Amino acid sequence: MKKFYLYALLGLGLAAGGVYAADKKVAAKPAEAEEEVTIITSDQLTADYKQHFALFEGHVVVTDPQMQLTSEKLTLTFDTNNKIKTIKAEGKVNIRQTDKLAKSDVATYDIDSGKIVLSGKPRVMRGKDMLEGEIITMFRNESRILVHPRARLVVYPEKGGAREQFFGNEK
């Protein structure tokens, strides 16, 4: 199956930290090259290349060198060349990378526009810092985020933490 760019969803959990996942790369070793692998497991997979979709259902786990995603359902839609257009995770979505965690009921990612939308009680956490609202939209290609309505950002005072990134180190 084609490589899935699934860790692009990782941007969901990283907006507060200002870090975004990059495309997959090949790690070069002196005498050999080793490709990084994304593994998707689920109770069931339905793939229909004529209808241009793949549907993973039940206990979905995406394991990637950059992150881990879990959900109840994961849908990939493809264009006519079988290139992924959109990725949608539904049901108890959790995206984790090191100290960053994003949670929501639904997470969608449009590959071409770089637009990521978290909805259904979305929350992005980094350490104790937390960002939440009814809808969190990240525009990866523009390094921009929109949280509405009821945006709430909780930043704990920590040297070198998110507070300094947002407000500087003035007291």
pLDDT digits (tens, 9 = 90+) for 67-119: 899 999 999 999 998 898 999 999 999 989 888 899 999 999 898 898 889 99
pTM, rounded to two decimals:
0.72
Tell me which residue of 124, 148, 152, 153 sits closest to 134, measured CA to CA: 148
- Under 8 Å between Cβ of 131 and 123: yes
How far is residue 15's CA from residue 107's CA, in Å, rounded to a whole number? 14
Is the pLDDT confidence value at 161 over 70? no
Rounded to a whole number of angstroms, the distance between the first and last alpha carbons of the chain is 53
Please name the amino acid found at residue 108.
T
- pLDDT band for 130, please (50, 70, 90 cuts): very high
Average pLDDT over the chain, rounded to an integer = 78
- pLDDT band for 29, please (50, 70, 90 cuts): very low
How far is residue 53's CA from residue 121's CA, in Å, rounded to a whole number? 27
Domains with residue ranges and CATH for the chain: 6-167 (2.60.450.10)
Please name the amino acid found at residue 132.
E
Q: Is 51 helix (H, G, I), strand (E, B) or coil?
A: coil
Rg of the chain's alpha carbons, rounded to an integer? 17
More reliable by pLDDT, 25 or 149: 149
Pairing state of beta strands 152-154 and 100-110? Answer: unpaired
